[in-house]
Structure 1
Amino acid sequence: MNEFEDLLNSVSEVAPGDVVTAEVLTVDAGQANVAISGTGVEGVLTLRELTNDREADINELVKVGETLELLVLRQVVGKDTDTVTYLVSKKRLEARKAWDKLVGREDEVVTVKATRAVKGGLSVEFEGLRGFIPASMIDTRFTRNTERFVGQEFDAKIKEVDPAENRFILSRRDVVEEVAAAARQEVFSKLAVGENVTGKVARITSFGAFIDLGGVDGLVHLTELSHERNVSPKSVVTVGEEVEVKVLAIDEEEGRVSLSLKATTPGPWDGVEQKLAAGDVIEGKVKRLTDFGAFVEVLPGIDGLVHISQISHKRVENPKDALTVGQDVTVKVLEVNAADERVSLSIKALEERPAAAEGEEKAEKRESRPRRPKRQEKRDFELPETQTGFSMADLFGDIEL
């Protein structure tokens, strides 16, 4: 009797909220039956209270004879018998421990796993504890498709911990921005104006292409994409393509890098003297018309000017009266100036000058000459002798006094 009383006294009572040690007795039908040490009572550990993974196999998580540390949730009385058991949880005990670990750890970076996409963001798990990352804190840009993160493990910064409110907020964006800032600093330390660097086309816009230089996006403006004029960025580069570009300007304070793609490729004017020379007669296409002449493409990327005075022997008031854009013409090269990227052309030099036009041209030259003012001749008139001298009698001779 004394031994029995000692045994009864050694059995402690079990209450909700207690942390107990239990041995797994059986594993069956999605739950494990455990014997709570030092109590003489049993507990039930369901798959739901073991893990958040509803698809998990409980037989792979617990084994018969294994000893577990569990949290007592509540008492359960059998319907047909007076047997008393307790619902226990391994998951919630781990969550409690995780909460204890989290308190005071704001701004610390931890590794979490995204479990599912929820309204307004992502649900993540950290050491058995469920946390939340708002959509605005997932990436540097607002993320609408949060589903693509589910199943991934990544670093996130703890923003708020409140065990009483079961509130655990994290930010992946903070970590991404810090990593990007460190990468930018490293990239800027290696960049130098005038050097060629290699990067990947990150995105294309209507005004150019952004090149990822390994943490810094540099802009190749539309005018620096190609030697050709009025090209579409999409016709020159594609997203993901690796390109070599030249650094034109660096503004580390603003985080900007200006790049040029065309500066790394041979230009149409390179070696133009070997392709064109004064006196050459070539075919070209009228590219554009101005008030002072027509620009004709004579080589890819090279437009020469046919001045209005070189269009025809006849007087041309406006180039549009004689030529049209897209028209094929034969021209003669008058001058090639590679340094200034200029080519002077003539159409009329290949045409025979009409006689009428020659006369008109001479007339125009005469009309264009400034007229000299007429010189006034100085004449000295000598009066006759009878007019040089006279007397009073000559004037009043016929007057009677």
Structure 2
Amino acid sequence: MLEDNILTAHGWVRGYLRHENGKVVGIEGSPCNPADNDLPYLLPGFIDLHVHGGGGKDIMQGAQAFDTITRTHLRFGTTALLATTMTAPNHDISRVLGALGDFCQTRPSGCARVLGVHLEGPFINPGKLGAQPNFAHTALMAEVEDYLNLAPIKVITIAPEIAGHIELIGTLSARGIRMQLGHTLGSYEEGVAALDAGASSFTHLYNAMSPLHHREPGILGAALAHARFAELIPDLLHVHPGAIRAALRAIPCLYCVTDSTAATGMPDGEYQLGSHTVTKCLGGVRLADGTLAGSTLTMDQALRNLVKIGLPLAEASQRLSQFPADYLGLEDRGRLQPGSWADCVRLDRSLNITAVMVEGEALDFQNA
């Protein structure tokens, strides 16, 4: 048993974590300041609520891709995630959701836990597709019900300005589904109306949404003025560090996601993103016209980036673990305390991962 600087739900402890049957049963030690020693850090496992792919595979490819994607992200410290779909024809979305519904019921050894699905489209504005394929359409409750019968959908990205969407936001949020505003040309007023109806977050803040202008605040203005939660991609390519810091001051529970693609963990080259072919080069992923198309970010790099722009390690960890868990209403993930899942990441003093544990299972890095 190794001694660590353990980031607990109540602060840093120098000591040991004990677990049984996949759950934390005790943390032995005393409060500490990690600056006073040279021990490794033990943080809660990362929770990524926006994952399109990894290891050369894309979620929309179906069941044969899920093992590879979840194994890839576990190597980088993500112990739980939401499998995120792309805008596509209904039959393609249904096919993938059916496969994810089965996969979510178990966790193969060596894989991150798939907590459910983030449905990113098709209920978005066709004028703000970003890298989404052009299959956007207005949401109908019958279609949503069909999807809900196939898989545990936890998050839906939706454009509030589309006729009927405000009402749908109210109906679905009342059923516990997290409704996020994104891929939208909506106004500030439409964003506030959506929040009043039950919308609870914003998809990849700043990207693919109407921007802030001092006379037309847009969806971004609604987020900065009113949101408690929002997701953001901290690869330092999608959002400038100064804009990240502005969002951190405005949105109390800003949490970080990767928006990762099949290119994550892979060399430069061409990969699939839904029905699109994208190119990884120069640290990013783009369509042929240069549009950013997801990322190659991993959560451990997200942690290092947040620390690089000035966040204390404990706060950076919170925005990768606790806040995404809080957003989904999960009290047994995203923090290390008795009764929580034994999901944790050990890092050296340079914040490089040396070990990962998911639900009490230690990852074998030699065979990962």
TM-score range, shorter chain: under 0.3
TM-score by length of 2: 0.18
Larger Rg: 1
Which structure's residues are more often strand, by fraction?
A: 1
Which structure's residues are more often helix, by fraction?
A: 2
Larger RCO: 1 or 2 (CA < 8 Å, sep 6+): 2
